Structure 1
Amino acid sequence: MPTLIHDLLLSPVFELLARIVLTSFFWVAGIFGLLKFEVMVQAIKVHRLPAPEWIVVLMVVTELFGSALLITNFANLGWLGAGALGVFTLLSIPLGHAFWKLEAPRKMEEFQIALEHVGIIGGLMCAAALTV
């Protein structure tokens, strides 16, 4: 491996940037949930889940605090933030992207989103491992 790349990969700035990029979807979604709370509640109601307001509150808290913990590794709890975001992402597959219940072509679109979620979970697993 070239020295320049080696040094970049070990740089604290690179590590911080990687954590910010990895969590970008979550903190952007959390901010959106704060600013457009009722829109998010309506989106949850479409799935006929109970207590949609509380679900949105839990989503926003998980997205923002999980991201903050992973980005900052506050009190060496970055692993917890990564884990919370990973579980959140895993739960969103059957709750929001249940491709097995759909017909083509929507089935394939939701399946691809589910696979993207699995990839993000893998990235979060790597991030959790790197915070200990």
Structure 2
Amino acid sequence: MPTIIEVTLVSDAFEIITRVILTSFFWIAGIFGLLKFNVMVATIRQNGFSSPKYIVAAMIVSELAGSVLLITDAFQLGWLGAGWLGVFTFLSIPLGHQFWRFQPPKRMEEMQIALEHFALIGGLMAAAALTAR
């Protein structure tokens, strides 16, 4: 491996940038949820869930707290942030992307989102493993 690549891969800056990018979906969604709380509540309500304000609040806390833990590895709890975001993402598939309930082409759209979520879970699992060392 070329020295410049090795130096980059093991640098603290690269590690932080990697964590920021990996969690970007979550902290952007969390900030959006804070700024557009009522829009999020309406969306959750449309999907038939009861207590949508509590659900949205839990989503925002999960997205932001999990991201902060993983990005900062505060108290060496980056693994917990990664796991939290992974479980959150896993639960969002059957709760928010029930591709099996739709007809094409909506079925394929929702299935692609579910598969993207599944791939993201793999990245979060890798981040959990790396921060647990």
For residues 1-132 of structure 1, the aligned pairs below 5 Å read: 1-132=1-132
Seq. identity, %: 62
The one-letter amino acid paired with 1:97 is: H
Q: Provide, for residues 41-74 of structure 1, a one-character-per-residue CA deviation record: whole Å limited to 9, x for no partner.
A: 0110111011100000000000000000000000
Q: Contact conserved, 1:79 with 1:128, CA < 8 A, in 2?
A: yes
8 Å contact 1:47–1:95 — kept in the other structure? no
In 2, are the aligned partners of 1:26 and 1:67 still within 8 Å (CA)? Answer: yes
Distance 1:6 1:118 in 2: 29
* Displacement after TM superposition at 1:95 (Å): 0.8
Q: TM-score, normalised by structure 1?
A: 0.98
Report the secondary structure of 1:49's partner residue: coil
Which amino acid letter does the alignment assign opposite residue 10 of structure 1? V
Partner letter of residue 85 of structure 1?
L
Cα RMSD after superposing both structures: 0.5
For structure 2, list consecutive stretches of 5 or more residues without a partner in the other structure. none
Amino acid at match of 2:31: I
SS at match of 2:44: helix
Q: How many residues align?
A: 132
Cα distance per residue 1:64-107 (max 9 Å; x no partner): 00000000000000011001100000011011110001000000
TM-score (norm: length of structure 2): 0.98
Give unpaired runs (5+ residues) of structure 1.
Answer: none
Q: Which amino acid aligns with 1:7?
A: V
Displacement, 1:3? 1.2
**Runs ≥4 residues deviating over 4 A:** none
